[in-house]
Amino acid sequence: MCAQPAPAGPDTGRVVLDARDIARALTRISHEILERNKGASDLVLLGIPSRGVPLAERIAERIASVEGNAVPVGSLDVTMYRDDLRLKPARALMRTDIPADGIDDKVVVLVDDVLFSGRTIRAALDALNDLGRPAAVRLAVLVDRGHRELPIRADFVGKNLPTSLVEQVRVTLDGVDDSDAVTIQGAATP
């Protein structure tokens, strides 16, 4: 009997990073942050909800295992600073949680899952401006997929992933989703 191909279903995507790849990328990003900052002093990690927050927490855990002390971690909701609110006005607000010592004169590392057009990061910079004056702001992303619309570049990148505009990059994280993975999905079919 000849095996029949499985019926075509929704595009679940091609896995480009699995759990081990993500773990290695976060470890590398953590070490690069420490090297660039010359240690963990005056360092604050702010994750951009929703998946940037658990990524920031994982990076902080790795930094703490190397440095022996905790790095403050928070979250920064950029919803009200986005330039597309008038196009998609119905958005749920996420949590902004700034560490107790604030961000003034600290090196703030913004953490996000995917860097695409740069508009989310522009919104994050505007939000930071309302919260204080950091000594420096850096950007760490798990995936940089290109197609920038603004002059924004990540300082720390887990994986550069060239994509076409019709493809979607999907990040799933254990604790938020079912597992750790980065997939590329093709254009949606009608």
Q: What is the pLDDT of residue 84?
A: 80
Q: What is the pLDDT of residue 90?
A: 66
Number of domains forming the structure of the chain = 1
Residue 141 in any domain: the answer is yes
Residue 153 in any domain: the answer is yes
Q: What is the pLDDT of residue 28?
A: 98
Residue 32 in any domain: the answer is yes
The number of C-alpha atoms within 13 Å of 165 and in the hemisphere containing its C-beta is 4
Q: Using CA atoms, how far apart are residues 54 and 113, in angstroms rounded to an integer? A: 10
Residue 173 in any domain: the answer is no
Residue 104 in any domain: the answer is yes
Output the domain CATH number for residue 138: 3.40.50.2020
Question: Kind of pairing, strands 43-47 and 107-115?
Answer: parallel
Q: What is the pLDDT of residue 11?
A: 58
Per-run averaged pLDDT (10 residues), the chain, 190 residues = 40 90 98 97 96 98 96 96 77 87 97 97 96 98 96 98 94 94 75
Residue 189 in any domain: the answer is no
Q: What is the pLDDT of residue 189?
A: 38
Residue 147 in any domain: the answer is yes
Question: Kind of pairing, strands 168-172 and 181-185?
Answer: antiparallel
Query: Beta partners for 75?
Result: 47, 97
* Domain membership of residue 118 as a residue range: 19-80+98-163
Q: At what angle do helices 19-37 and 52-67 cross, to 10 degrees?
A: 60
Is the N-terminal amide bond of 50 cis, ω within 30° of 0? yes
